[in-house]
Amino acid sequence: MSRRPRRARSERGASGWGQLTAVVIGGAASWGAVALGELSVGALDPALSPADAGPQGDDVAEQALVGVDDARTVASYSLEASLDPHAHVITAHGSMVLTNFTSQPLDHVYLHLYMNAFEHDRTVFRRRSGQGMRGDDGVSVDGFVDVESLTWREARSGELLPEHAHTPGDPEDRTDVRVALPRAIAPGERATFDVRFRTQLPPIVLRAGYAGSFNMVAQWFPKLAKLEEDGHFAHFPYERFGEFYSDYGDYDVTIQVPEGFEVGATGALVSDDRSGDRRTLRFSARAIGDFAFAAWDGFAEATRDAHGVAIRCLFPRGQEGAAAIQLDAAAAGLAFYNRELGPYPYTHLTIVHPPPDAQEAGGMEYPTLFTTGEPPFVGLLPLRPRTLELVTLHELGHQWFYGILGSNENQHPFLDEGLTSYVTERALTEIYGEGGLLPGLPFAVSLAELERAAQLGAHSRAPVAARVSDFPTGGDYTRLVYSRAATIMRSLDGAYDGAGRRAVARFARAHRFGHPGPEDLLRAVREVAGEDAEKQLRTALFERGSVDFVVTAIDNSRDGERVRRDVTLERRGALELPVVVALHGQGGRVERVSWDGKGSSTTLTTYGDEPLVAAVIDPERALPLDESRANDAFNLAPRALAPRTLLLAAFASTLVVHAVLP
């Protein structure tokens, strides 16, 4: 999920700083005609075939990548839902099929009933305020999911859901309930649960809900908790900061809405029947972990085919320009992520741009669907930040880190948000340039540096690799999980010759449709950059490791005909990262030397014809984890003036003075 920025809309971006081309409006018919089914890897754009070596070398590129045909489907759903878009109620029934792939018999299952987070103000979700995380603290309490019936077909069971089911250990919360079974599901057995339920959406909050006739229908159906290899279920209540964790499965969902409503949903549209005043749409997807849809009678539509994927953008009428930006960003992003992370394995991608009064629904990812949006004023700014492009690239990145890789977002949120932020920075820079986020400024402000600034000092609050409930505040969560995790990976790049990039590429390819954890990422780093790199990453992620390099002194002395130059450096913090130091001679010559970062201090001694006047640690700013750059340089002859700053500030001030004074 995109964060704050969304306010700053982050989650979007314009990143787009780039822009558009043709927009195709309307086109529901052509959308409906799109072929169904998902592609396996080999069927994708030839440009994305293994011939593309990817960033980390042939060894990874030549791996047989897992496609949807190879994914292990554990929890599949077939649902028929009817949405009353004005009462914001979904009435649904259908079946859930759980395959017990473990070697253990299962005498119970866990169900997530996420929408119950909004049934009163004492739920786990409601008991915690946002505190710096997106989401209105004044959350409405009129959302719920009422499971009217739950039975096990093969066992011909009666009603399975206990009348007063609640989250284990928390009677006030009903988002995570245990369902005892009349008999165990044997290893290898498939159990079909028939379910009938009614979901009431709340006014939009964080990810789901309604605003007017716009309905963002997410976390709306009873969902089986993730079955782990050892036979236990990874279950947890719906927490404000946390997201989800699911098994892969096949989804077949039929949605009925009033005529006049457009629907954007996970998967591919199989059929679209209009009968009287009702419209019935059927969506299907294979090897996905969740299903969400948006319905609104104010949507317009634009489509684009890119890299073998049919991209569809639903957006508020009148915002064709914004839709074009998103389609451009998504097309460019697909090319980038396909190359860096392995090919997008589905044939469809849906972008939902919510209306202005439903911004809380924006910046969220679901399989083959994500939401975007930006505050209306952004489009009015003379120098428009590329926030719409940013959120598009970020949410698109989630199609890998959460979608295709399926990590546990509750237990290890950095694996999806952190890695997504990291690849988003790189995608944004590659597509729009270093200063692409804020074009038009006299100097480039990079997203990566904004992330770096945001996370400064955050390591003192909690480890990056913490579960969602362990972060003291929402602000800590976003700074550590999004910004610091991305900054750590970028520092690996700088310290170990692109290790972050190579490791993430390897990690993403090796665990497609798997459910990797932090150890898998560490292993990938070890494989591409060695044990020391892995050790530093572990320290940074799990032990609040930090680093601050300082130049403390320069000493020049005569040694015969030559000058002996001593530069004293310090390293503070637990991270021992190798670093480059630039030595500036009196005559303008610059030499570069390296320090392995071991030990808390060192003196670099060199000999030359001229004395040194300055020394700069990490002159290329390759180690953004360095806590302070202000102490990275030492100069024996500092400049007294900053004329450019004077001109810039004076001109800006004079403009203000001109506007204010008579």
* Residue 613 binds to another protein (criterion: CB under 8 A): yes
* Residue 87 binds to another protein (criterion: CB under 8 A): no
Alpha helices in 530-627, H assignment, sequence order: 531-542
Question: Could you say which residues in the range 445-474 bind another protein, by CB under 8 A?
Answer: 445-446, 448-450, 452-454, 456-457
Residue 411 CA to residue 417 CA, distance in Å, equals 12
Closer to another protein by Cβ: residue 272 or 548: 548
Residue 21 CA to residue 559 CA, distance in Å, equals 66
* Residue 642 binds to another protein (criterion: CB under 8 A): yes
CB of 456 to another protein, least distance (A): 5
Closer to another protein by Cβ: residue 35 or 630: 630
- The type of residue at 589 is R
By CB under 8 A, the count of residues binding another protein is: 67
Question: Could you say which residues in the range 318-347 bind another protein, by CB under 8 A?
Answer: 318-319
Closer to another protein by Cβ: residue 63 or 473: 473
Adjacent-strand bridge partners of 583: 591, 615
Distance from the first to the final alpha carbon of the chain: 48
- Tell me phi and psi for residue 173, to 5 degrees: -120, 135
In the list 551, 563, 569, 575, the residue contacting another protein (rule: CB under 8 A) is 551
Adjacent-strand bridge partners of 349: 311
DSSP reduced 3-state for 190:
strand
Full DSSP string of 458-496: GGGT--SS--GGG-SSHHHHIIIIIIIHHHHHHHHHHHT
Question: Could you say which residues in the range 560-589 bind another protein, by CB under 8 A?
Answer: 584
Closer to another protein by Cβ: residue 457 or 599: 457
Q: 348-352 and 309-316: which strand pairing?
A: parallel
| Options 140-148, 183-191, 395-403, 611-619: segment touching another protein (CB under 8 A) | 611-619
* Residue 658 binds to another protein (criterion: CB under 8 A): yes
CB of 502 to another protein, least distance (A): 22
CA 609-610-615 angle, to 5 degrees, is 125
Cβ count near 590 (within 10 Å): 11
Q: Which string of x and - marks every residue 496-535 that binds another protein (by CB under 8 A)? A: ----------------------------------------
Q: What is the 3-state secondary structure (H, E, C) of 283-332?
A: EEEEEECCCCEEEECCEEEEEEEECCEEEEEEEECCCHHHHHHHHHHHHH
* Residue 441 binds to another protein (criterion: CB under 8 A): yes
Q: List the structure tokens of 649.
A: 């500030």
Q: 562-572 and 601-608: which strand pairing?
A: antiparallel
* Residue 651 binds to another protein (criterion: CB under 8 A): yes
* Residue 635 binds to another protein (criterion: CB under 8 A): yes
| Options 61-69, 92-100, 213-221, 626-634: segment touching another protein (CB under 8 A) | 626-634
Residue 113 CA to residue 121 CA, distance in Å, equals 16
| Options 117-125, 217-225, 238-246, 376-384: segment touching another protein (CB under 8 A) | 376-384
Q: Which string of x and - marks every residue 381-400 that binds another protein (by CB under 8 A)? A: -x------------------
CB of 328 to another protein, least distance (A): 18
Residues lying near another protein in the complex (CB under 8 A) are found at: 316-319, 356-357, 375-377, 379-380, 382, 434-435, 440-446, 448-450, 452-454, 456-457, 551, 584, 613-614, 616, 620-621, 624, 628-635, 638-655, 657-658, 661-662
